[in-house]
Amino acid sequence: MEEEGEEERAMESFLKWAAELGISDSPSTNRPQLFRSSLGYSLCVSHFPQSGGRGLGALRDLRRGELILKVPKSALMTSESVMEDNHLAIAVNRHPSLSFAQILVVCLLYEMGKGKTSKWHPYLKHLPQAYDILATFGEFEKEALQLDEARWVTEAAVLKAKSEWKGANGLMQELNLKPKLLTFKAWLWAAATISSRTLHIPWDEAGCLCPVGDLFNYDAPGKEPSHLEEVQCLQPNTFFQATILSNGDNTTIADAEQLDSHFERLTDGGFEEDVDAYCFYARENYKKGEQVLLCYGTYTNLELLEHYGFLLPENPNDKIFIPLEPDIYSSSSWSKESLYIHHNGEPSFSLVSALRLWATPQNNRRSVGHLAYSGSQLSSDNEIFVMKWLSKTCRAVLENLPTSIDEDMLLLNAMDSSQDLCTFLGKTKLLSCREEICAFLEANDLQNEDSFIDVLLSRKARRSMDKWKLAVQWRVKYKKVLTDCISYCNEIIRSLLRMDET
């Protein structure tokens, strides 16, 4: 309780600091609460346990397209703004081979090293202490992903982080960073902060850290109405419209064009040169109390895990890849990346087309190519062969995995309902994934029976379990897509056989 009160007070002082920098969720520049808090008119900081934890809630009904938050350029933490510190700028310039991202990581660590004297101290204090992006996964959590595709992505992420850290080491030594800030652990923390919190800016490909603006949790794209609906939906009194229409006669073509270009970026947000600020707009209508979300981009669940350390239970942009024979890739001109299965189990247009061609005798492929590329079935026999092959391949992948969806679900249940290690071990005693549980204990130095006396998990073990849980959630989603694909194929086979009979 006391802790909560303290957290609230700390957040209040952060929002007051943000207001002093001109960050505001109100269109009016002379509202009474100015300099008291940057929020309070449209948004408030709240907790949403099911979708992202700390986030921003609507303080009133919000209309799609309405400006809800503005963060002036001077409040953004970018490499450029941190390098106003001459000592840092001179040192960075001596290392021209570093990437934009490496420079921003060093800037963040450098600023952390300043402690209370940093201009951004109130902001830095509120950053998460730990992250779950794939680069932070250890061997155990990587193995728990079970699928090669995911293990490779994890391995590559870890290697990339290590090599970027090593590459920036010379600069960090020159800057005399405290030993704690020179470690790979500190680098991973800063790199994960950059990966999961930066917003796009036109002048630096590493992006910017945006106080308050980085409190929006993620919503997947894909359900926005068309532009036409957007126009109808906008209220004439929104701050956004007031800003552009105040420039003059709203019937001029120039204004109409300006309006069009504004519609392009209406949902979510972006840096706007004309107001020299990052502006955020409501991406849909929100009722008072609902969480206001931001779309960071289009990501599969594996990409969300890689860059942001979470996944969506229902992700309309999820896709999975299955192992395909080399002949399949070479029998058509579809790219490898286009041959996947959608989140709902339907094979992609290109995958079906490629399989139809591959299942056609080589000497006939030329004559049916135009049909296959336009998405037509080639024949009932060809279609049944393709669907049977796809269903068999999905089943083989499922059978080769060490655990079933049901076992994974039991494991997830045990994780969710156990407060301590003894309970967890009791609940998982009869599960067939004993090997995996032993690997968790080993990875966290918990094999010794004595460690069970201390029933509460160490911080390290709790962090490992959080990542383990994400890995299991990811593999369950993968397996569900395979199962749905098998059902989809079987349904098509059944309907084709019925048609053949009649």
Least distance to ligand SAM, CB of residue 198, Å: 9
Closer residue to ligand SAM (CB): 85 or 224: 224
284: exposed, middle or buried (Cβ count in 10 Å: 0-12, 13-18, 19+): middle
Least distance to ligand SAM, CB of residue 330, Å: 39
Closer residue to ligand SAM (CB): 310 or 478: 310
Closer residue to ligand SAM (CB): 44 or 398: 44
325: exposed, middle or buried (Cβ count in 10 Å: 0-12, 13-18, 19+): exposed
Contacts of residue 52, Cβ cutoff 8 Å, sequence gap at least 6: 217, 218, 291, 310
Tokens standing for 486?
A: 């098998």
* CA 89 – CA 165 distance, rounded (Å): 19
3-state SS track over 207-218? EEECCCHHHCEE
Q: Which helix (H) or strand (E) holds 19?
A: helix 2-20
Closer residue to ligand SAM (CB): 2 or 314: 314
Closest CA to 472 of 420, 502, 432, 436: 436
Least distance to ligand SAM, CB of residue 145, Å: 18
Question: Which residues of this protein are in contact with ligand SAM, per CB under 6 A?
Answer: 51-55, 128, 196-197, 214-215, 217-218, 308-310
* CA 291 – CA 47 distance, rounded (Å): 9
* CA 147 – CA 103 distance, rounded (Å): 33
356: exposed, middle or buried (Cβ count in 10 Å: 0-12, 13-18, 19+): buried
Least distance to ligand SAM, CB of residue 69, Å: 13
Least distance to ligand SAM, CB of residue 297, Å: 12
- Judging by DSSP bridges, how do beta strands 43-48 and 53-58 pair with one another? antiparallel
Q: Are 467 and 136 contacting, i.e. CB atoms less than 8 angstroms apart?
A: yes
Least distance to ligand SAM, CB of residue 188, Å: 14
Closer residue to ligand SAM (CB): 306 or 407: 306
Closer residue to ligand SAM (CB): 43 or 339: 43
Closer residue to ligand SAM (CB): 102 or 217: 217
Least distance to ligand SAM, CB of residue 294, Å: 8
